[in-house]
Amino acid sequence: MKFKISHSELKMLGNYCAMVSLMSIISITLTYAQNRPITQDDIRASMEKHLLSMGPDYNKYAHPKMEVIKKFKEDGYERWHVKYLVDENEYCYAYLLIPNNIPKGVKRPAVLCPHPTANIGKDRVVGIYQGPAQSPAEEQSRANRLYAVELAKKGFVTFAPDRAAYGERRLEKDGGFTLQMNAFQKYLSAKYPGFTLSGKSVYDLKIALSILEKLDFVDPENIGIIGHSLGAIDAIMLAGFDQRVKAAVVNSGSPIRYEAAWWDMNSNELRTYLQNPDIKGGLDKHMNFYVMMAAPRSVLYQYSIADPAYWEPNIVEAHRAIYNYYSSISGTKKIDYNVYFHGQGHDFTDDSRTLSYRWLENRLMKKQSNPDKEVFVPAAIDIANGYAQHFDNIENSYPAGWTMSMVARVGQTGTDPNKNPRTQAPVANAPKLMMGTAASKGNFVYNFGGKLGFKNGSSSDYALLVSLNTKSVKTSKSIKGQFDAMVMRNLYDGTNNTLINELVLQYRIGETGDFINLKETIRNGENKQTIGIKPADIKNFTFELPKECSNQPVVQLRWITKYISGKVEHSDGRPSFAVDNFIIEKTL
């Protein structure tokens, strides 16, 4: 029996067969998509849809004009009160802190400083209050939140914006942050249904990043973020969503939750959750995702085992899972996910801040002559009105304009007269500044009871450096100054320990190149000293810089040791030196 099929019927049959074939292909593709491992892009796309998609169009306001309301001269930096548009008829207010005397053409690393929960918002991280602290505890709390100021004094450009509902962005005339946040959420819900304050914070901080990277004195390749408590949550969220953040410090934010299925990139439970168009999870559940989204960029996650605000079981396992995830993203590259636990409660203590600042310096500060080592370059101090530094109350933080660096990985031997003392540029940052006495045997940098110094070892050669801006000094004038140089630890005994070293003052113009020897100062002699903070020997020295050092944006002075004679039985026997009462005379 023969069948006759018309041309139109044949065409319909062909279309049907093609459709069946296409549906089969789609089915196979979907099956493959369901079976493949979940990627970082999958997580980010889901979180962007959940947190940012309901808000305003970022591209419309991505590059607003920053308006300067007022400028303030502060100790070591200038503070600008600024505002910029983040949405239709909505301004964000912020403080921009700029280290003094950034040389023309020099770009500094920058750090965003979102504030913790505080009605005053950005004022909290720059130390602006209506009245004095009412107790020692409050005074200490204020000091422990000054990360925008302390980083500016270390040479970073810092930017501290108000979060929506805080500071100058409160919608209600009166009331605390809970009332203000409810009011702002109500405003957002009316304008952008489904858009939350968390999404709003990420959106606003992305615009803040755009403000920073366009400033001609900011290095757009070296921008970080640091935050405490609420600011810590904002820090890790932004790091997850915006790859312009190179390094993030997260202190006492929301804890990391460990749920085994959510760290398995083949987990159907995780896949189902991420594909849910109506995700209900909050910050506590999504904090894992934000850290994963930040990989493999640098993260320092600090938390207290005694934090009364938050805690999660199996937190160590959670951070181990993060490390493993970083490893899977990084491959053979360095894994730069770091965790520091302390026991100081919900606080940002001296220890954790000092660690944070040095960590940021190592990742964001520009490199000098050795491209393989990152070397911190302090902002130059203006000497227009003279300058004095007595190292009072420095504890374990360098004063503005000062640092200690490692000049060589091999200690002084005296066998090379061309490098005795060494004159080359530093190759690395020195270790953390520690509290020390004449009994301190370690080869470290020390605060000897209000005197800044160091002890070299057989494989370390340190130098103390201060950076000065001399633009105020006419080229016809020379710069004069004085300082106390001293020997702290000295084990010279004439037999086993006969090493004699000398502290030498050097200078260079600018931030690169070799140093020039300027003045020989104190030597360790026969006055043995192994205890206390009283110097074994101390002398005052005056100096005068060559006139070519005047009218310069940067002149650097440094103290380094010179080998004279002798030997030591052990590295512990090397002397330690310190400097105090450094004064630059006012030059008219």
pLDDT of residue 2: 38
What's the whole-number mean pLDDT along residues 463-478?
Answer: 92
Here the tokens at position 216 are 């001609």
pLDDT of residue 197: 95
How crowded is the C-beta side of 521, counted as CA atoms within 13 Å? 26
pLDDT of residue 17: 36
How crowded is the C-beta side of 247, counted as CA atoms within 13 Å? 21
Rounded Cα distance, 206 and 159, in Å: 12
What's the whole-number mean pLDDT along residues 32-41?
Answer: 73
**Cα–Cα nearest to 506, from 468, 463, 455, 551:** 463
Strand segments, DSSP code E, in 290-370 are 298-304, 337-342
Q: What is the pLDDT of residues 135-164, one digit of tens each?
A: 999 999 999 999 999 999 999 999 999 999
Question: What integer best gives the mean pLDDT of the chain?
Answer: 86
Whether residue 390 has pLDDT greater than 70: yes
Rounded Cα distance, 221 and 375, in Å: 16
pLDDT of residue 29: 37
**Cα–Cα nearest to 288, from 233, 332, 345:** 233
DSSP label at residue 38: P
* pLDDT bucket at 7, cuts 50 / 70 / 90: very low
Task: Give the residue extent of every domain in the chain.
Answer: 58-364, 381-584
pLDDT of residue 208: 97
pLDDT of residue 5: 42
Here the tokens at position 372 are 């393989």
Are the CB atoms for 576 and 454 separated by under 8 Å? yes
Are the CB atoms for 388 and 399 separated by under 8 Å? no
Here the tokens at position 35 are 């079976």
Percent of the chain whose predicted confidence (pLDDT) is above 90: 59
Under CATH, which architecture does the 381-584 domain have? Sandwich (2.60)
How crowded is the C-beta side of 563, counted as CA atoms within 13 Å? 19
Other C-beta atoms lying within 10 Å of the C-beta of residue 68? 10
Q: Per mean pLDDT, which range of 18-22, 76-80, 181-185, 535-539 is the poorest? A: 18-22
Q: Tell me the whole-structure pTM to 2 decimals.
A: 0.62
Rounded Cα distance, 385 and 556, in Å: 18
What three-state secondary structure class fits 421? coil
Query: Comparing 578 with 343, which gets the higher pLDDT?
Result: 578
pLDDT of residue 311: 66
Query: Of the spans 80-94, 337-351, 410-424, which averages the highest pLDDT?
Result: 80-94
Are the CB atoms for 322 and 267 separated by under 8 Å? no
Query: Comparing 330 with 154, which gets the higher pLDDT?
Result: 154
Query: Of the spans 110-124, 247-261, 294-308, which averages the highest pLDDT?
Result: 110-124
Are the CB atoms for 345 and 306 separated by under 8 Å? yes
Beta-carbon contacts of 74 under 8 Å, excluding residues fewer than 6 positions away, are 97, 149
pLDDT of residue 12: 42
pLDDT of residue 432: 77
Percent of the chain whose predicted confidence (pLDDT) is above 70: 89
* pLDDT bucket at 256, cuts 50 / 70 / 90: confident
Cis peptide before 114 (omega within 30 of 0): no
**Cα–Cα nearest to 322, from 342, 344, 297:** 297
Query: Comparing 256 with 125, which gets the higher pLDDT?
Result: 125
Query: Comparing 393 with 188, which gets the higher pLDDT?
Result: 188
What's the whole-number mean pLDDT along residues 554-581?
Answer: 91
What's the whole-number mean pLDDT along residues 387-403?
Answer: 90
Here the tokens at position 461 are 């050669």
**406 phi, psi to nearest 5 deg:** -100, 120
Q: What is the CATH number of domain 58-364?
A: 3.40.50.1820
pLDDT of residue 374: 54
Are the CB atoms for 111 and 225 separated by under 8 Å? yes
Are the CB atoms for 121 and 163 separated by under 8 Å? yes
State in Å, rounded, how far the first CA of the chain is from the last one: 117
Query: Comparing 132 with 256, which gets the higher pLDDT?
Result: 132
Helix (H) and strand (E) counts for the chain? 13, 23
Query: Comparing 463 with 260, which gets the higher pLDDT?
Result: 463
Sign of the CA dihedral running 230, 376, 432, 373:
positive
| H or E segment and range at residue 516 | strand 516-523
pLDDT of residue 332: 63
Here the tokens at position 27 are 């089915």
**Residue found under tokens 């360098």:** 398
Rounded Cα distance, 194 and 188, in Å: 8
Are the CB atoms for 240 and 270 separated by under 8 Å? no
Whether residue 32 has pLDDT greater than 70: no
What's the whole-number mean pLDDT along residues 198-204?
Answer: 96
pLDDT of residue 265: 87
Rounded Cα distance, 485 and 524, in Å: 11
What's the whole-number mean pLDDT along residues 309-314?
Answer: 70
Q: Tally the residues of the chain.
A: 588
Burial class from Cβ neighbours inside 10 Å (0-12, 13-18, 19+) for residue 7 reads: exposed
* pLDDT bucket at 314, cuts 50 / 70 / 90: confident
Q: What is the pLDDT of residues 62-118, one digit of tens each?
A: 888 999 999 999 988 999 999 999 999 999 999 999 998 787 778 899 999 999 999
Beta-carbon contacts of 300 under 8 Å, excluding residues fewer than 6 positions away, are 247, 248, 249, 250, 338, 339, 340, 355, 356, 359
Q: Beta strands 433-435 and 445-447: pairing type? A: parallel
Rounded Cα distance, 15 and 21, in Å: 10
- For 202-229, give the secondary structure using H, E and C: HHHHHHHHHHHHCCCCEEEEEEEEEEEC
How far from the centroid of its chain's Cα atoms is residue 259's Cα? 30
Rounded Cα distance, 256 and 320, in Å: 11
Rounded Cα distance, 407 and 377, in Å: 14
